[in-house]
Each structure stands twice: as structure tokens, then as C-alpha cells.
Amino acid sequence: MTIEVGSKIEGKVTGITNFGAFVELPGGTTGLIHISEIAEDYVKDVNEHLKLNDKVLVKVINVDDKGKIGLSIKQAVNRPKPQQQRRIPQISMDDKINQFFKDSEEKLAAIKRNQESKRGGRGFKR
């Protein structure tokens, strides 16, 4: 059987390491599921998600020049696409504080200009 990138195949877990799991595919070839491709959530220990001889559905995500096969469990699952939602921009507290200081400085500058014009401005001698 030819292994093609993008195909979904069922295989059997034949080895577990701290960086992923090896899966035997039909035809006797073996591929690796990297720890980052096991589940959507953070995976600290592969053994919490997979056991030896588990049958898993995987997606072939790459085949390199040396014949190494990269697999993914999380990409093999068909997830519905999230609905497009109109996002309301979130304004952080830092943005609000910065805007407050900017507005305050502008108001103080306007008040000073107004007071100087009433007193005759700078350098005016009576």
C-alpha cells in the first residue's frame, strides 16, 4: 500500500516514547505521531493518551526523503469549522489608562493656553 500525504489510515500503536508514539500502518510500514499531534490539549505524558496495541485513526502529514512518515491523530478527526463571528475588539486596561493620560495632558495643555491668553501671553510686560 502506498502512503500518501493527507490520507487517513488506521494503524496499531507499536511503541511509546517520551516524544510520541510509533504506529504500524498497513503494509508493515511504521510512522511516528509526535507528542504535539496526539491531542488538541497539551500532552504531558503520551501514556495518558495511548497504550501499546491501541488501534488509532491517523492522518499522514508528511513523508520525508528517507521514508520517515509523520502522523497525526488530532488532524485525523473531522472537526466542524467554527462559525464566523463578528468580534468586538477588546480594550485592555493598559490601553484605557494610556488613553486617560493622553486626554488629561491635552486638557491641561488647553487650560494653560487659555490662561496665558487671558494674562497677555508669555513675555508680555505691563
Where residue 62 sits, what CATH number does that domain have?
Answer: 2.40.50.140
Q: What is the pTM of this model?
A: 0.61
The count of domains in the chain is 1
Residue 91 domain-assigned? no
Q: Is residue 26 part of a domain?
A: yes
What is the domain extent for residue 68?
A: 8-72
Cell numbers linked to 14: 507499536
88 falls within a domain: no
What b/e sequence results for 46-83 when a residue is b if at least 16 CB atoms lie within 10 Å of its CB, and e otherwise?
Answer: beebbeeeeebebbbbebeeeeebbbbbbebeeeeeee
Within a domain: 1: no
Q: Is residue 92 part of a domain?
A: no
| pLDDT for 87 | 65
Q: Is residue 38 part of a domain?
A: yes
Residue 102 lies in a domain: no
- Residue 59 near residue 7, CB atoms below 8 Å: yes
Query: Which residues in the chain show pLDDT less than 50?
Result: none
Structure confidence by residue, pLDDT tens digits, 59-86: 999 998 888 999 999 999 876 666 656 6
